[in-house]
Amino acid sequence: MSPALDASLFSWVTLAALVFGYFAGSIPFGLILTRAAGLGDIRAVGSGNIGATNVLRTGNRWIAAGTLLGDMLKGTVAILIAGHFAGPAAALAAGGGAFFGHLFPVWLGFRGGKGVATFLGLLIGLAWPVALSFAAIWLIVAWLTRYSSLSALVASAATPLILAAVGEYALAALFALLALVLWLRHHENIRRLLAGTEGRIGDKKRGAGSR
């Protein structure tokens, strides 16, 4: 195979993995599970977000847990499938696609979640020890503050630094980009945190979910 043809094949495989990841990531588990449980449209509850934090405001912890698991594992599964069939570059492309699919799902008019659970799912698929660090940081900040959004912001910001510290520089660059996008998606949460009006974990009143 000529170098030009090999490069062309690589680009098409990577593109296919990106598209596959996008559609996997765009599955709105929060919306699907709340409707299946007879809880109505999650977009009419709390912040209107489709993620697990807002699903928890319905009072159904099992559905919230299912949403968290689904939003997380769709990123992990996309990476594992693409990596198995097409290699590391395709795995990264599928992971990126899954993240943006969750944020901008075509099925919901490109209005999706904020990416925290899927961010963690990508870490599980690409660097699971760092995923444990992410989870630990999230839990500590959540325990101290009861702010889901703040926990996500701190854990996501720490992730590229941890990856760089263990020598995973390419992954550190990728997750720095994803963390930046995640922070941008949380701009309203950041404003409310600074104003002291952000909803806390377990609050069923109006607030903003992080996923």
Residue 122 counted as domain residue: yes
Residue 209 counted as domain residue: no
Residue 205 counted as domain residue: no
- List the pLDDT tens digit at each of the 211 positions of the chain: 444 434 555 688 999 999 999 999 999 999 999 999 998 888 888 778 888 888 888 888 999 999 999 999 999 999 999 999 999 999 999 999 999 999 999 999 899 999 999 999 999 999 999 999 999 999 999 999 999 899 999 999 999 999 999 999 999 999 999 999 999 999 999 999 999 999 887 665 544 445 5
Residue 155 counted as domain residue: yes
List, in sequence order, the alpha helices (H) in 87-127: 88-103, 116-126
Domain count along the chain? 1
What secondary structure does DSSP assign to 34-57, as a single string? HHHTT---GGGSTT---SHHHHHT
Residue 153 counted as domain residue: yes
Q: Do 71 and 29 contact (CB within 8 A), yes or no?
A: yes
Instruction: Give me the pLDDT at residue 3, please.
Output: 46
Instruction: Give me the pLDDT at residue 58, please.
Output: 86
For 200, the token pair is 């806390």
Residue 208 counted as domain residue: no
Residue 201 counted as domain residue: no
Instruction: Give me the pLDDT at residue 5, please.
Output: 39
Residue 118 counted as domain residue: yes
* pLDDT tens profile 32-80: 999 999 988 888 887 788 888 888 888 889 999 999 999 999 999 999 9
Domain that holds residue 75: 3-195
